[in-house]
Amino acid sequence: TQTYLITLLPGDGIGPEIMAVAVEVLEVVAKQEGLSFEFTTALIGGAAIEATGEPLPAATLDACKQSDGVLLAAIGGYQWDNLPRHLRPETGLLGLRAGLGLFANLRPAAILPQLIDASTLKREVVEGVDIMVVRELTGGVYFGEPKGIFTTETGEKRGVNTMAYTESEIDRIAKVGFETAQKRTKKLCSVDKANVLEVSQLWRDRVTAMAKDYPDVELTHMYVDNAAMQLVRAPKQFDTIVTSNLFGDILSDAAAMLTGSIGMLPSASLGATGLGVFEPVHGSAPDIAGQDKANPLAQVLSTAMLLRYGLHQPKAADRIESAVLKVLDLGYRTGDIMSAGMTAVGCREMGRVLIEALA
């Protein structure tokens, strides 16, 4: 059998805790499905800064490039927040995405019936929600030039970032948006700020032009401020959302709350080569790190996305997703998704019951 080389990037904060659970789950599923994995753990973020002085060592990027898939937990923490920009953990993550050409970030947000009461929104608002946010990941205001803090002629400092997209950058993410919608309910909503921003005008023009190649997809456009409101007002109107880097970052955190907790949401960061990074939507949660309180399910579901989208092993992915549903059916809840009558568990205990559920 083929051996899959997987690079593990546990990172910071709760990262190592949730990664440990995901790897245990993957090992059990591997045995069940007759798959073979070889894991390499590499440094990123604050952990890499401490060990090597930089947030994305060349060895880490190389290890990722040589692997069949990358599983990332999370990076960041208060202790690195005041470092110069190029040394920050976040810069390491952005470098990884850019370095691997991962321009498309798929962020599914579907409410599980078991967690309806964990959402802060009313049952009738969230019941049946099933959204896929397709976020552009290597362009826009995150990467545009010029960027920096400059000094003006009057001696005042001026912070600058540039929101820019080329036609080809828009086209390749729009294509992912249309194709994703085609596999779902064929409804695509492109979110922009074309009423104000030129970059969004170009975005809207290109997405509109592409619609003729996908006559079966119903394309709509929405301004991002309205989209933020509509997501919490009536989320069921959305199926697939395609949007730029920053808007997708913000809207996917908002969409997380429809599903009860950001601790539930996985994502897949994909490029042109087939190599992907699979990572939760949430961050390193420094407020609960080291306390065995983290919800490992976003990481575990990211592992299912690795199997499904990265390694094309849908049966193994199904096994993991079923085990997640089963532990929720059995009433196990970490603090972030706790509700009345359920059994409170920590991160490790959630891992243990997942392994039981897999058996």
Min CB(81)–ligand NAD separation in Å: 7
Contact assessment for residue 253 and residue 262, using Cβ atoms and an 8 Å cutoff: yes
- Is residue 165 part of the annotated active site? The answer reads no
- Enumerate residues 73-112 that contact ligand NAD by CB under 6 A: 74-77, 90, 93
Where in 292-331 is the site for ligand NAD (CB under 6 A)? 294-295, 298
Catalytic residue among 142, 165, 309, 332: 142
- 336 is a contact residue toward Mn ion (CB under 5 A): no
213 belongs to the catalytic site? no
Distance of closest approach, residue 286 Cβ to ligand NAD, in angstroms:
6
Q: Residues 136, 169, 192, 249: which binds Mn ion (CB under 5 A)?
A: 249
- Residue 48 amino acid letter: A
Question: Would residue 253 show up in a list of annotated catalytic residues for this protein?
Answer: yes
281 alpha carbon, distance to own chain's centre: 4
CB count within 10 Å of CB 348 equals 14
Determine contact, residues 301/320, Cβ cutoff 8 Å.
yes
Report the distance separating Cα 312 and Cα 306, nearest Å: 8
**What is the full DSSP assignment across 16-52?**
HHHHHHHHHHHHHHHHHHT-EEEEEE---HHHHHHHH
Clarify whether 223 is annotated catalytic. no
CA distance 82 to 95: 19
Tokens standing for 239? 């199926």
- Shorter beta-carbon distance to ligand IPM: residue 64 or 358: 64
Assess 336 for contact with ligand NAD (CB under 6 A): yes
* Given 12, 192, 239, 249, the catalytic residue: 249
- Judged by CB, which is closer to ligand IPM: 90, or 117? 90
Phi/psi class of residue 192: alpha, beta or left (left: φ > 0; alpha: ψ in -120 to 50)?
A: beta
Residue 280: CB minimum distance to Mn ion, A:
10
Q: Is 85 annotated as a binding residue?
A: yes
The residues, ordered by sequence, that sit 6+ positions from 51 with a Cβ below 8 Å of its Cβ are 43
Is 193 one of the annotated active-site residues of the chain?
yes
Binding site per annotation, positions for substrate? 97, 107, 135, 225
Q: Catalytic positions, please?
A: 142, 193, 225, 249, 253
Binding site for Mn ion (CB under 5 A): 249
Binding site for ligand NAD (CB under 6 A): 14, 74-77, 90, 93, 262-263, 279, 282-288, 294-295, 298, 336
